[in-house]
Amino acid sequence: MTTQLVRDSMKLMADAGVDIVDIKWFDLTGAFSEHQHANLEPVMTHRPPFDKCFVTWKGKTRSHPSYEVLMLVAGTDPNEGITVSMWKGPSGTRLRPIPAMFYFIEDDNIRYGAVNDDEPIDKELAEIMLAQIGVWYSAMDQRIEAYIPSMRDSFTNRRKVQQGKLPTYDWTTVWIEPSKPRQESKGGTHASPRLHERRGHLRRLKTGKNVWVKSCKVGDASKGAIFHDYAIKEST
């Protein structure tokens, strides 16, 4: 079963008319603490693993025993621009929306600006948003716990899909690990998996250079599809 924070966030977006199936979901709770220093280096070297990602976090701050941050990230190419929307506030209250911003990489620098001219974003808030993205990027380079839902093959679900409604999902827990060196094939065959979206990730070439591999769809659509969200834990 996925985390309660992700389920609450899904309901929030669905109530706002957003198609939650188009979004990949991450729970960042436990990936960092209030005492962790901001690190913007991953923002320079990494990209969002999918075109639309929703990142959640819940934890303690210096002022609140329980605080929540929700973040919607759209886009995959920082040279063209990544859009970030954020909501934050004490748990149990109406979360405060932060003016949407975008960032891009230019001349080895991170540059940012407000999405709407009438909703400017100040430097402190922009750096908080970029720092949260940096933590998210860094966490995905480690071994992380992921929740992967799959659509239950039932008459009720098939009827829901025909009516344009969201189906009921079964959830399983898996682990996502950093990319391993490719090994030589030992022969043999394997069945093609169900259609799923492979996340974007860093790949280290034999030359030592790091390149970003874009997300892509793989697998056999005739065998069904898999929908992903991720819960990220702090490295040990």
Q: How many Å apart are CA 134 and CA 120, to the nearest integer? A: 22
- Total tally of structural domains belonging to the chain: 1
Q: What is the pLDDT of residues 106-121, one digit of tens each?
A: 888 999 999 988 898 8
User: Among residues 11, 47, 5, which one has the least CA distance to residue 26?
Assistant: 5
Q: Is residue 215 part of a domain?
A: no
User: Among residues 134, 166, 137, which one has the least CA distance to residue 10?
Assistant: 166
Q: Is residue 51 part of a domain?
A: yes
> What is this structure's pTM?
0.68
The pLDDT value recorded for residue 185 is: 43
Q: Is residue 134 part of a domain?
A: yes
Strand partners, 101: 84, 114
Confidence of residue 187 (pLDDT cuts 50, 70, 90): very low
Q: Is residue 192 part of a domain?
A: no
Q: Is the pLDDT of residue 55 over 70?
A: yes
Q: Is residue 126 part of a domain?
A: yes
User: Among residues 167, 233, 170, which one has the least CA distance to residue 26?
Assistant: 233
Q: Is residue 178 part of a domain?
A: no
Q: What is the dihedral of CA 218, 220, 222, 228, to 10 degrees?
A: -40
Strands (E) in 117-156, as ranges, are 144-151
Q: Is the pLDDT of residue 212 over 80?
A: no
Confidence of residue 198 (pLDDT cuts 50, 70, 90): low
Domain, as residue range, for 120: 4-139
**Is the separation of the CB atoms in 175 and 146 below 8 Å?**
yes
Q: Is residue 169 part of a domain?
A: no
The pLDDT value recorded for residue 164 is: 77
Among 8-12, 28-32, 183-187, name the most confident range.
Answer: 8-12
Query: In angstroms, how far is the first alpha carbon of the chain from the final one?
Result: 24
Q: Is residue 214 part of a domain?
A: no
